[in-house]
Each structure stands twice: as C-alpha cells, then as structure tokens.
Amino acid sequence: MVVNVAIYLVVCATPPVLFWLASKTPEAVAAVRRRRSEPSPPGPPIERVAADLRRVHRSLTDLAPDAPMVRRRATNQAYDALLGQACAALDLRHWLDELPEGVERDVERLRVEEALRRAGLAVP
C-alpha cells in the first residue's frame, strides 16, 4: 500500500515540477550567458580608485612641512600608484613608474592629473 501511495505522489508531482523547471530554464541560460560574456574589469572599480586618490591627495597637501621624509615619500609613492591605477582603468598612458624622483616626475604627475581631469576624473 505504501508503494502505491509513493507511485501516486510521484506521478502527480512530476508534471508540475517539470513544467516549472521548463519555465525557469530560459532565465537560467540567459544569466549564464551574461556572466560568461561580460568580462570583469581588472583592478578595483574606478569609483574606489577615485576616492582613494582624493584621500591620498588630501593627505599629501595636509602633510606638515616638518613631516619625516619617509612619510612624504611613502605618501607620494601611494599617490603615484593610485594615479597609475586610474590611468590603467581609463586606458591612459603614464610614465610615473619609469621616471626617477624629482622635477621630471613632478611634471609627469601634473600631466597625468590633467589627463585624468579631461577624462572625467577630477582630483582636486
């Protein structure tokens, strides 16, 4: 008797379950195709890079004149690294990694900031 009830339940439940699965299949296939076709961009989102750039720029401008040279260099290096990430996200070329510390690198930093401004990323 238990076997008969189990068979009856399987026969009654199978068609609705199959129709429900068939109705959800196109949505699942479309989601898988979207996930495969949209490559994730490399690196962090540009919004996060912009926020970090503003924060580090603020730290750089608020740095006391008598701040240790190590802190000044570390802040400059962090700022340059973030400028490089922003350039990579916006497909802009920069030479910050290739230039030594000094006037040339400062000029390149200003050029990169202006290029980012023109691309729509304002760094105060």
**CA atoms of 124 and 121, how far apart (whole Å):** 10
Residue 74 confidence (pLDDT): 94
Residue 41 confidence (pLDDT): 66
User: How many C-beta neighbours within 10 Å does residue 75 have?
Assistant: 18
* pTM exceeds 0.75, yes or no: no
Range with lowest mean pLDDT among 16-20, 106-110, 113-117? 16-20
pLDDT value at 40 more than 70: no
Can you give the residue ranges of every domain in the chain?
Answer: 1-39, 46-119
- How much is the mean pLDDT over the chain? 90
Q: What is the mean pLDDT of residues 108-117?
A: 94
DSSP 3-state assignment of 7?
A: helix
